[in-house]
Amino acid sequence: MRTQVGIIGAGPAGLLLSHLLHLRGISSVVLEKRSREYVERRVRAGVLEQGTVDTLVEAGVGERMLREGLPHHGIELRYGGAGHRIAFEKLVPGRSITVYGQQEVVKDLIAARLAAGGDLRFEVEDVAVHDVDSERPYLTFGGERLDCDIIAGCDGFHGVSRPSIPEGVLTIYERNYPFAWLGILARVAPSSEELIYARNERGFALHSMRTPAISRFYLQVPPDARLDDWPDERIWGELKARLETVPGFELATGEILERGVTPMRSFVAEPMQYGRLYLAGDAAHIVPPTGAKGLNLAVADVRVLTEALTAYFKDGTTELLDAYSQTCLKRVWRAQHFSYWMTTLLHTFDEDDAYARRLQLSYLDYVTSSEAAATTLAENYVGLPF
């Protein structure tokens, strides 16, 4: 078999790249080790930046998102017994976020690729990357061989793409945080029209949503937290303790549909390319979910890579491909800083460090009282323009 671009991974990055390349007349094959059912049900991010929304609409895969997604024009920072709204419509006019689950984006992209005759292969085994430092790279899987001009590694943090780069080529930057997030999906209508980021002495909590009938919640927990230690009653009790700190607010509860513990870490691998292998999304970088940047960074990478591949295949020029990593990393590091900033601003760290807690509160007061500081948060949250 032969294709122009071999894509490893059928997450948002790989599927969107395949679709955008199709629109440019460039062929691709997508290889995914999981089943279609698994990738369409995998619950991940749910906050789409303005640029991500625009990209999906421009690509012709945004119809259901526009119909079912929940546009938000602000978020609430809750601390010290009061809520403080960051008003996007005032601070960054014309830009907002849309709450629409990552798994829904994946469903839309899979449907679009299959409708266009795209070559998506699920449940493939033993994917391996070969000869990316030559002009004839190829992939093997399940006893088959796929010859490519370019290979795109969109297979996430634990995929095969990044480890295929020889030792010593990559510089790794990472930070592990001393806590994790316990996340739940619950069959209950949201108790707030917008996301609530709650800073509490008991630990951070986030009130989010997926649909008018399904809510998403997160709790800061120890990094070694076990789900067995968190029955429904304890989860709802802790959410109430951390969120019901504003007079008149009452948290609605309901059936918990899914739950999981997510470690909090920051990770960047530089460069994001080696030979004819190009990394995108979580294969190259991870951010703590506080700033809602993971999926959006993947979309940004794919936009850059699409333009570079179009120039390569249509015009024979390599300037954009050569600059791919450098171009992407500018946005990656901005998102890294914003995610780190939001995380350190809202989470409880060392219980004995009273000085650090006072600094947190001081900066929260500044962000919620200064239009300049609030604008910085708002423009980073809705996503910097492409």
pLDDT tens-digit readout, 290-326: 999 999 999 999 999 999 999 999 999 999 999 999 9
Supply the pLDDT for residue 353: 86
Give yes or no for residue 261 having a pLDDT over 80: yes
Place of tokens 């700190």: 245
Give yes or no for residue 45 having a pLDDT over 90: no
Q: Is 381 a catalytic residue?
A: yes
Q: Is 355 a catalytic residue?
A: no
Q: Which of 12, 19, 33, 72 is catalytic?
A: 72
Supply the pLDDT for residue 349: 87
191 DSSP 8-state letter: S
Supply the pLDDT for residue 216: 95
Q: Is 278 a catalytic residue?
A: no
Q: pLDDT confidence of 260, banded at 50, 70, 90?
A: very high
Give yes or no for residue 180 having a pLDDT over 80: yes
User: In this predicted model, what pLDDT tens digit does every residue of 208-218 receive, in sequence order?
Assistant: 999 999 999 99
HEC string of 149-182? CEEEECCCCCCCCHHHCCCCCCEEEEEEEEEEEE
**pTM for this structure?**
0.95
Q: Which one, of 290, 336, 291, 284, lies nearest residue 305 by Cα? A: 284
Q: Which of 197, 278, 312, 324 is catalytic?
A: 197
Q: Please, are residues 180 and 262 in contact by the beta-carbon 8 Å criterion? A: yes
Supply the pLDDT for residue 65: 97
Residue 137 in tokens? 């790279």
Supply the pLDDT for residue 350: 78
Q: Is 218 a catalytic residue?
A: no
Specify the 3-state DSSP secondary structure of 40. Answer: helix
Supply the pLDDT for residue 232: 97
User: Which domains occur in the chain, in start order?
Assistant: 5-73+94-174+265-342 (3.50.50.60), 177-263+356-382 (3.30.9.10)
Supply the pLDDT for residue 283: 98
Instruction: Determine the Cα–Cα distance for residues 177 and 342; give it in Å rounded to an integer.
Output: 13
Q: pLDDT confidence of 351, banded at 50, 70, 90?
A: confident
User: In this predicted model, what pLDDT tens digit does every residue of 9-39 receive, in sequence order?
Assistant: 999 999 999 999 999 999 999 999 999 999 9
Average pLDDT over the chain reads 96
Supply the pLDDT for residue 382: 97
Place of tokens 């080790």: 33
Supply the pLDDT for residue 43: 77
Give yes or no for residue 352 having a pLDDT over 90: no
CA 50 to chain CA mean position, Å? 14
Q: Which of 207, 289, 324, 347 is catalytic?
A: 289
Supply the pLDDT for residue 330: 98
User: In this predicted model, what pLDDT tens digit does every residue of 73-124 receive, in sequence order?
Assistant: 999 999 999 999 999 999 999 999 999 999 999 999 999 999 999 999 999 9
Supply the pLDDT for residue 44: 78
Q: Please, are residues 245 and 207 in contact by the beta-carbon 8 Å criterion? A: no
Supply the pLDDT for residue 42: 84
Q: Which of 207, 293, 312, 347 is catalytic?
A: 293
Supply the pLDDT for residue 29: 98
Supply the pLDDT for residue 346: 96
Place of tokens 């990472």: 174
Supply the pLDDT for residue 236: 98
The arithmetic mean of pLDDT across residues 129-152, rounded, is: 97
In degrees and rounded to multiples of 5, residue 294 shows phi and psi of -55, -60
The arithmetic mean of pLDDT across residues 120-145, rounded, is: 97
Supply the pLDDT for residue 57: 98
